[in-house]
A = this chain, B = another copy of it.
Amino acid sequence: MVERTGTSIRARVRAELTAEIKSAARRQLAAEGANLSLRAIARELGMASSALYRYFANRDELLTALIIDAYDALGAAAETADARHRKRADHVGRWLAVTRALRAWALSAPSEYALILGSPVPGYRAPADTTGPASRAPLVLARIISDAAAAGALADVAEPPLPAKLRAELATVADQVGLDMSEPVLARTILAWTQTYGAISFELFGQLDNLVDRRDEWFDYQARSMAALVGLT
């Protein structure tokens, strides 16, 4: 993004137009898929296509901004869903609330979900600044598990062996994000997050068509299964 500081009128107008460009871009994404066209955005906003270059250096920069926004929106949805759950000790309830919120966000903004969690956009490589926002949602899930573990509320679950080197890798990851979790618990958490992502993508990308119609119930069933697999009670 073309950064510019200050709180003058000009700066505020600038911020507003930047937001308008992004939301026009999101609308375009919803209509056309990942083929983002700067000219089409400019057309919708009634301005010359060259004007966009005062706000974003090029197409990729705009895409990056959209990706970061999407990760942040998904992360925020997860965080508020967890925060709103009053009974903090009801870990299964929190897991259900958060995974449902993730799904609801995805269904409300399918093209943005596809942008961050679908197949990569051809010819685009995400810069490093996305990793922070990208980890918000999974961290919320992880925190539910670590809360349960800390409260001694995590059931023992039979599980396949973890090879030593994989185990060591998981220990490093837990360390880096500051999670107090045993390696097997972290492994199960990532597994469950992967399943959740798979369930949402399946529904969104049409793999559930002609298979399951009662989508809400089916999702809940899956979420509960995964909560149980992780050991939440």
Q: What residues make up the interface of A, taking CB atoms closer than 8 Å to B?
A: 32-35, 114, 117-123, 126, 131, 158-160, 162-163, 165-166, 169-170, 173, 187-188, 190-191, 194-199, 201-202, 205-207, 210-214, 217-218, 220-222, 224-225, 228-229
Contact = CB atoms under 8 A, between A and B. Distances in A.
Number of copies: 2
B160 A191 contact: no
Contact of A120 (B120, B169, B206): B206
Nearest to A227: B160
A212 B183 CA distance: 12
A220 B122 CA distance: 29
22 contacts: A35-B35, A35-B122, A118-B205, A120-B205, A131-B210, A158-B228, A160-B220, A160-B224, A160-B225, A162-B221, A166-B212, A166-B214, A166-B221, A190-B212, A191-B195, A191-B222, A194-B195, A194-B198, A194-B202, A195-B195, A195-B198, A197-B207
B173 A211 contact: yes
Please classify the interface of chain A as helix (H, G, I), strand (E, B), loop, or mixed, using the class held by over half of its residues: helix
Contacts of A214: 163, 165-166, 169
